[in-house]
């Protein structure tokens, strides 16, 4: 497998993509962004990705992050995209569209892979690295779970019901703060309440807070006390691109000593 892989991050409002050096985590060209309408359907996404491949004149493999559960390349949930995605084999569709070797994974899992390999979780990326949880706070709450450096995909902890009778993401997603006009402290306490539930269930050694809101971690981080160590993500909005590329090389397995 070549080290240079095209990483593609499908989001709720746009697709972002760039070639990635998976050995260093470096972005090799100015990322390409394509805006999307609300609830884009699979044909539209595949055509847009085909255009991205042409834009970069790309001839190698590509990895893609999808905002939902992915099993063997098939979209199995569609919480924040059109229901037309359910049951679609996105890997197969993209292979047909581009002629490339393709791997598709959950978008939060992709961001988690990038943070574990090159970012805030790097010190836990080894065979005795403990339990690490990453949450991407955005339109909803994406999650990625790692144990001793190994990813357990498709966790979707944002949909866990709280004792308040609502899903965690309906209480603590970044979009909720904006929609309800919450101050950083009030919203930070809500996020902490969500993390308290996660701590009871999984007892993580490290929690990484990602998504665009991580750039404002200083405004709410002091209210997050539910877990032993809670830190902001380091890879920024490129984490999904980098992690999608990494998905082709790591195969969700424990890293070898040479990869530490």
What is the pLDDT at residue 154?
A: 96
Give the strand pairing for 62-66 and 4-10: parallel
Of 138, 140, 131, 148, nearest in space to 199 by CA: 131
Which regions in the chain score pLDDT beneath 50?
252-260
- State residue 237's pLDDT score: 87
pLDDT score at 81: 80
**What is the token pair recorded at 259?**
């990869």
pLDDT on residue 252: 41
Structure confidence at residue 254 (pLDDT): 40
Query: Residue 256 has what pLDDT?
Result: 38
24 CB burial (10 A radius; 0-12, 13-18, 19+): exposed
Domains of the chain: 4-110+239-259 (3.30.420.40), 124-234 (3.30.420.40)
Judged by DSSP in three states, 115 sits in helix
Q: For residue 101, how many other CB atoms are within 10 A of its CB?
A: 16
Q: Which helix (H) or strand (E) holds 102?
A: strand 102-106
Local structure of 17: helix, strand or coil: strand
pLDDT value, residue 57: 96
Contact assessment for residue 5 and residue 19, using Cβ atoms and an 8 Å cutoff: yes
> Is the Cβ–Cβ distance between 145 and 155 less than 8 Å?
yes
pLDDT of residue 251: 54
* Strands 102-106, 74-75: pairing kind: unpaired
With the CA atoms of 197, 203, 207 and 209 taken in that order, what torsion angle do they form, in degrees rounded to the nearest 10? Answer: -10
H helix intervals, the chain: 42-55, 90-98, 107-118, 168-172, 174-180, 184-202, 217-220, 239-250
So what's the pLDDT on residue 39? 79
pLDDT at position 40, please? 83
pTM here is 0.92
């Amino acid at each position: 497998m070549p080290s240079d892989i095209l990483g593609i991050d499908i989001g709720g409002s746009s697709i972002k993509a760039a070639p990635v050096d998976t050995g260093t985590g470096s972005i090799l060209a100015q990322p390409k962004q394509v805006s999307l309408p609300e609830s884009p359907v699979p044909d539209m996404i595949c055509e847009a990705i085909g255009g991205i491949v042409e834009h970069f004149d790309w001839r190698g493999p590509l990895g893609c992050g999808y905002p939902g559960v992915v099993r063997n390349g098939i979209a199995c949930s569609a919480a924040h995209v059109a229901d037309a995605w359910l049951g679609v084999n996105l890997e197969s569709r993209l292979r047909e569209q581009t002629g490339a070797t393709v791997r598709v994974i959950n978008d939060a899992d992709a961001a988690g892979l990038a943070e574990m390999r090159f970012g805030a979780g790097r010190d836990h990326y080894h065979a005795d690295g403990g339990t690490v949880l990453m949450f991407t706070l955005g339109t909803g709450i994406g999650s990625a779970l790692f144990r001793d450096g190994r990813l357990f995909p498709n966790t979707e902890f944002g949909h866990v019901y709280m004792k308040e009778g609502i899903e965690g993401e309906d209480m603590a997603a970044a979009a909720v703060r904006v929609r309800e006009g919450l101050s950083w402290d009030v919203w930070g306490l809500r996020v902490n309440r969500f993390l308290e539930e996660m701590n009871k269930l999984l007892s993580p050694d490290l929690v990484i807070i990602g998504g665009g809101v991580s750039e404002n971690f200083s405004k709410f981080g002091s209210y997050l006390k539910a877990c032993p160590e809670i830190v902001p993500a380091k890879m920024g909005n490129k984490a999904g691109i980098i992690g999608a590329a990494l998905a082709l090389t790591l195969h969700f397995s424990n890293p070898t000593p040479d990869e530490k």
